[in-house]
């Protein structure tokens, strides 16, 4: 008889004992991102079948690790990557201790070199428009590491046309410590402007600010723009009279005169050495006919702003320009002489707004004249000369423009025409803000000379 003995089957056991290792054995961490982060790996050379619990600790809280504990082997990976992150502060040397039961403790040396304290600005150059919203920009001043003590910083502009906020601050906290500075430019001033950033006991830095050239097109809502100094927009006949003046606005409407006898003159070196288009006191007129009402009036044909820069040629006549739908549906823009009212507006039902002016326009005196209209409401049609409200309405102009508009340089209206030197005209389909009007007036004065 034979006997058979069965032995239980045991799983194969790996030869040897697992050994914990780390790599690399040393790291260098900067004080600021991105160089303040590094990694190392902790590994077992073999799997014994049981998990080995590994923990990692730092000798100083300025250096942290993640994860701080994890298993290796026993169904878990044999290798784990550990992320090390250094703060800006802390000692120059830190050690990491990696331990596991039954394993030799491993030490990773962390070098934290101190770098000379410095301040940087970002960006080092900016472009600011002359009007909102593009007239505001920012830059950041930052230290390259946390300082031993607070650093005071002052900021200044080389020209008052660009202001800074804040003008002074201190840097102490953060990684790295930083401050955002806001720059605001007005409509005037030179280009470029230099912003100086001066940290106490550190090297000063600068930001160069370029100011874009302002034009009426920078303000939203531009409907018409005529510029006598742009020869490319003017067509002259053989007598240097203007047969066409092309609008520089978004729709490029041509102001034309077919009759040679009714064409304004083109004269050079009249205002600040620049040319003008001069209408007479009889019948000179240029017309852009049939402009869709929505292209020149806003809010359903109920708002506009019209700005004229030029000078009266003689103390005679009255009306120098108009916006017209029909004989009794129009806005006429008038100059004043002592015996006459200053401006008049007629709209649809011939409801008028009559003005009384405190001082008449004077021959060869340059003026910026601004007209504002918003249908209905008290003081809804207003006029300003050279930035000041000099006339006030005694009536309210109501209704709306609903038909195509004829715009006139010179006038074919009911009252005598005023001879006028047109330098520049800008019409908007909305009521501009005081700031926007100030920007346009500054642009006109800078170009055409002091009023």
Q: What is the mean pLDDT of residues 310-314?
A: 75
Q: Determine the 3-state secondary structure of 437 from DSSP.
A: helix
Express as a percent the part of the chain with pLDDT over 90: 45
Averaged pLDDT, 74-92: 91
Question: Whole-model pTM?
Answer: 0.61
**Which of 174-178, 253-257, 268-272 is least confident?**
174-178
| The predicted structure's pLDDT at residue 326 | 53
Q: Tell me whether residue 169 is exposed, middle or buried, using C-beta atoms within 10 angstroms of its C-beta: 0 to 12, 13 to 18, 19 or more.
A: middle
The residue among 262 and 1 whose pLDDT is bigger is 262
Using one digit for the tens of pLDDT, what is the confidence trace for 29-69? 987 777 889 999 999 999 989 999 999 999 999 999 999 99
Token look-up 């869709």 returns 292
Question: What is the secondary structure of 60-100 as a DSSP string?
Answer: STTEEEE-SEEEESTTS-SEEEEEEEE-SSS-SEEEEEEE-
pLDDT recorded at residue 75: 92
Whether residue 355 is predicted with pLDDT greater than 90 in this model: the reply is: no
User: In angstroms, how far apart are the furthest CA atoms of the chain?
Assistant: 149
Domains of the chain: 20-111 (2.60.40.10), 119-211 (2.60.40.10), 217-448 (2.60.120.200)
- Residue 80 tokens read as 């784990």
In the structure encoding, which two tokens stand for residue 40, read together? 């190392």
Instruction: Give me the pLDDT at residue 42, please.
Output: 97
Q: How confident is the model at residue 344 (pLDDT cuts 50, 70, 90)?
A: very low
Q: Which of 428-445 are b and which e, b meaning 16 or more Cβ less than 10 Å from the residue's Cβ?
A: bbbbbeeebbbbbbbbbb
The structure tokens listed for 352 are: 């008028």
What pLDDT is recorded for position 71?
97
154 CB-near residues (< 8 Å, 6+ apart): 167, 168, 197, 198
Given a cut of 50, whether residue 352 has pLDDT beyond it is: no
CA-CA distance, 190 to 270, in Å (whole number)? Answer: 25
325 band by pLDDT with thresholds 50, 70 and 90 = low
Q: pLDDT tens digit string along 181-229?
A: 999 998 778 899 999 999 999 999 999 999 988 889 888 899 999 999 9
Residue 328: pLDDT band with limits 50, 70, 90: low
pLDDT of residue 400: 64
Q: Regarding beta strands 222-227 and 420-428, do their DSSP bridges make them parallel or antiparallel, or are they unpaired?
A: antiparallel
Task: Specify the pLDDT at position 249.
Answer: 93
Over residues 367-384, the mean pLDDT reads 50
pLDDT band at 171 (very low <50, low <70, confident <90, very high): very high
158: pLDDT confidence band, cut at 50, 70 and 90? very high
């Amino acid at each position: 008889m034979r006997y058979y003995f069965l032995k239980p089957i045991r799983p194969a056991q790996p030869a040897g004992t697992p050994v914990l290792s780390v790599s690399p054995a040393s790291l260098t961490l900067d004080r600021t991102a991105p160089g303040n982060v590094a990694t190392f790996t902790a590994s077992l050379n073999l799997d014994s079948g049981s998990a080995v619990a590994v923990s990692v600790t730092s000798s100083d809280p300025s250096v942290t690790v993640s994860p701080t504990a994890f298993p290796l082997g026993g169904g878990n990976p044999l290798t784990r990557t550990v992320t090390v992150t250094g703060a800006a502060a802390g000692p120059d040397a830190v050690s990491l201790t990696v331990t596991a039961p039954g394993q030799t403790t491993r030490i990773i040396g962390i070098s934290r070199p101190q770098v000379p304290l410095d301040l940087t600005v970002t960006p080092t150059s900016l472009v600011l428009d002359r009007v909102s919203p593009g007239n505001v920009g920012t830059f950041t001043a930052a230290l390259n590491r946390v300082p031993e003590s607070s650093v005071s910083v002052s900021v200044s502009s080389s020209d008052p046309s660009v202001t800074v906020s804040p003008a002074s601050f201190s840097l102490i906290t953060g990684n790295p410590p930083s401050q955002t500075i806001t720059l605001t430019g007005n409509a005037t001033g030179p280009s470029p402007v230099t912003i100086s950033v001066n940290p106490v006991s550190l090297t000063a830095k600068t930001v160069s600010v370029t100011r874009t050239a302002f034009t009426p097109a920078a303000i939203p809502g531009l409907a018409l723009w005529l510029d006598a100094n742009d020869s490319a927009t003017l067509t002259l006949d053989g007598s240097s009279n203007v047969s066409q003046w092309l609008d520089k606005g978004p729709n490029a409407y041509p102001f034309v005169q077919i009759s040679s006898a009714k064409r304004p003159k083109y004269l050079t070196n009249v205002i600040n050495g620049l040319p003008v288009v001069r209408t007479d006191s009889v019948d000179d007129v240029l017309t852009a006919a049939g402009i869709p009402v929505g292209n020149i009036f806003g809010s359903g044909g109920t708002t506009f702003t019209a700005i004229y820069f030029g000078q009266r040629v003689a103390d005679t006549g009255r009306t120098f320009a108009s916006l017209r739908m029909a004989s009794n549906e129009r806005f006429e823009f008038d100059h004043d002489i002592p015996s006459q009212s200053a401006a008049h507006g007629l709209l649809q039902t011939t409801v008028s707004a009559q003005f009384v002016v405190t001082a008449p326009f004077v021959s060869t005196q340059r003026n910026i004249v601004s007209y504002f209209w918003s249908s209905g409401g008290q003081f809804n049609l207003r006029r300003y000369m050279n930035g000041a409200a000099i006339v006030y309405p005694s009536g309210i102009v109501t209704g709306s423009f609903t038909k195509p508009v004829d715009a006139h340089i010179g006038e074919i209206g009911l009252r005598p025409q005023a001879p006028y030197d047109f330098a520049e005209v800008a019409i908007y389909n909305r009521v501009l803000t005081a700031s926007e009007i100030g920007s346009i007036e500054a642009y006109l004065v800078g170009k055409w000379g002091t009023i």
